[in-house]
Amino acid sequence: MDNYDKHISRMLHIGRELVKKEPLLIKETGTVNAKGDRSIQMDLKIEEALINYIKENNLPVNIFSEEIGIIEFHPNPIGIIAFDPLDGSTNYKIGKSIFPYGLLIALYEGLRPKLNDVVSAGAIEYTQDLAWIYSDGKTTNVKGNPVSLKTNWEIKKSTPVYLDLYYKEGYKAYMPLAQKIFIRNQGSTIGNLSYVLSNIAACMGGVCMRPEEIGAVVALIKGAGGIAVNHKGKDLGGESFSPDKTYQILGGAKNIIKFAINQLNNNYPR
């Protein structure tokens, strides 16, 4: 599966242009997406444009999108492309282009891949117009400059980590970290990821990251020299990709994640 990063880059560009052209498509459509939430107009507009791009270029993949689920269109698929067309849709609806939202894409080799089978991935955060590409095991910005995560974060109360607190399970899981490092949240996976890749945050995490997000997050963080593990400290690369599962994740700077894992497993209420 060679040279697919150019397709990922073009898909990021498609999403960016649609958001710029029509920034307020916030009305609910009445459609319930694959995860049971109500879609808004921009979700479906970006999804339709990306699916059309994949089909027009006859990319030999099955498609998994947050809004519509699985699409099998190619007679001889050799991979899976998964994407979240509008990650942070609530931020998009209420944030007045201040709260972060964006697009996450991952291309897997094989039809029963593991997370370490991502061969190309991309992410764009629209409010700051920040974008990244993963290819050949490395993460770069869209100008081709390598991204390298900071490795000398100090373990102290002011060290920022961005953890998904949308689910009540997140508060329970991350309680042992409170007032040891600085827990924050941007309200979207792409927002939290953008802070890690920009070295504004030491790590990001979540108790149940969705399948349309996980591949891009893991690949982009690892490609920038970070690690991505579950809450027991096990590398996520060996986990199978499945549209039917969610994933625990801590991803970012190794020393901060090792500290967090120790705290979660030594202090997690039994």
pLDDT tens profile 177-225: 999 999 999 999 999 999 999 999 999 999 999 999 999 999 999 999 9
Spell out the domain ranges in the chain: 5-141, 160-267
160-267: CATH, from 3.40.190.80, 3.90.1150.10, 3.40.50.2300, 3.30.420.80: 3.40.190.80
Check: CATH 2.30.110.10 for 5-141? no
Residue type, 116: N
173 φ, ψ (degrees, to nearest 5): -65, -40
pLDDT tens profile 87-104: 998 898 887 788 999 999
Rounded to two decimals, what is the model's pTM?
A: 0.93
DSSP class per residue in 137-159:
TEEEETTS-B---------STT-
Residues 6+ apart with CB under 8 A from 249: 204, 205, 206, 209, 214, 217, 218, 228, 229, 230, 236
Q: pLDDT below 50 — which residues of the chain?
A: 30, 34, 268-270
* Topology agreement, domain 5-141 and domain 160-267: no
